């Protein structure tokens, strides 16, 4: 990879979008969910999470709305837009192609 940061950043976007595909969620919830689903393997860098959310919102892939959290506090909930869904599908394809290609290379005997 020429630019490893792209991978990391792109990966975070992908993870956020995938999480939001299930249901609208606030930033804290997204971080927790990613951690749980990946069996505690993936620790989202919290410092990078919010800028990423704002960027995704700016690009029109997610939308923000204020709502009530589980413990009745005001929280900002993000949900996926149709454009975001389309982008997620594209990126998932891309990711699968890439990871299987890397798998092939790594399994080479």
Partner 1 sequence: MRWYYKLPLRMRSLFRKDKAELELDEELRFHLQSQIEECVKQGMNPQEARHAAFRALGGVEQVKEECRDARRINFVDNFLQDGRFGLRMFRRSPGFAVIACVTLALGIGATTSIFSVVKTVIFAPLPFRQPENLVHVWGSDGPPGQHYRRGDQVFFSSARPADLYDWREQNQSFERISAYRKCSMLLTGGKETDLVDGQEVYDDFFEMLGTPAQLGRGLQASDYESGGAHVVVISNRMWVQRLAANPDIIGARISLDRESYQIVGVMPATFYPTPWGYSEFWIPHLANQGERSDRKSWGLIPLARLKPGITWEQAQIQFDVISARLIEDHPDDFLNAVVVPMDAQLIGSSWKLLLLLSGGVTLLLLIALVNVANLLLARVLERQTEFAIRKALGASGARIAYQLFIENLGLSLAAGALGFGFAFVLTKVMLANLPESTGLPRLETVRVDFPLLAFVCGICFVASMTCSLMTLKNSRDRSSLTLQIEGRAFSSGSGKRRLGRAFIVSEFVFSLVLLILGVILVQSFVRLRRVDPGFDPSNLLAFRVQVPAVSYGKFSFGAKDPRRERLYEQLEQIIAAVPGIESVAMSALLPLRHEINPSPVVIPGHEPPLSERSGSTRLDTVIQIQTGIERVNPEYFRALRLKLVSGRFLEERDGPEAPLVAVVNETFVKAFFPSQNPIGKRVSVWYGNPVIVGVVADFKLNGLDRNALPEMFWSLRQDPWTDVWVMARTKSDPALVASAVLKSIRNFDPDMPLRDMNSMADVISESLWLKRIAAVLIGLVAGLAIVLAGIGIYSVVSYSVSQRTKEVGIRVAVGASPSDVLRLILGETWRLAPVWWAALLPMS
Nearer to partner 1, 69 or 92 (CB): 69
Stretch of 12-20, 40-48, 90-98, 101-109 lying at the interface with partner 1 (CB under 8 A):
40-48
* Shortest CB 27 distance to partner 1, Å: 5
Contact yes or no for 76/27 (Cβ under 8 A): yes
Binds partner 1 (CB under 8 A): choice among 37, 81, 85, 91:
81
Helix, strand, coil: what percent of the chain each, to 5? Answer: 65, 15, 20
The verdict on 28 binding partner 1 (CB under 8 A) reads: yes
From 5-13, 16-24, 76-84, 93-101, give the range in contact with partner 1 by CB under 8 A. Answer: 76-84
Q: Is 60 left (phi over 0), alpha (psi -120 to 50) or beta?
A: left
Total of residues contacting partner 1 (CB under 8 A): 24
Tokens 């919102």: give the residue.
57
55 binds partner 1 (CB under 8 A): yes
Q: Name every residue whose Cβ is closer than 8 Å to that of residue 34 and which is 6 or more positions away in sequence.
A: 15, 16, 19, 42, 44
């Amino acid at each position: 990879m020429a630019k490893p940061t792209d991978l990391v950043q792109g990966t975070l976007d992908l993870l956020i979008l995938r999480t939001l595909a299930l249901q609208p969620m606030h930033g804290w919830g997204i971080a927790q969910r990613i951690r749980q689903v990946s069996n505690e393997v993936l620790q989202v860098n919290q410092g990078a999470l919010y800028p990423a959310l704002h960027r995704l919102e700016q690009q029109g892939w997610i939308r923000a709305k204020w709502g009530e959290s589980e413990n009745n506090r005001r929280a900002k909930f993000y949900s996926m837009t149709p454009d975001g869904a389309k982008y997620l599908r594209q990126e998932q394809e891309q990711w699968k192609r890439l990871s299987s290609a890397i798998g092939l290379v790594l399994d080479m005997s």
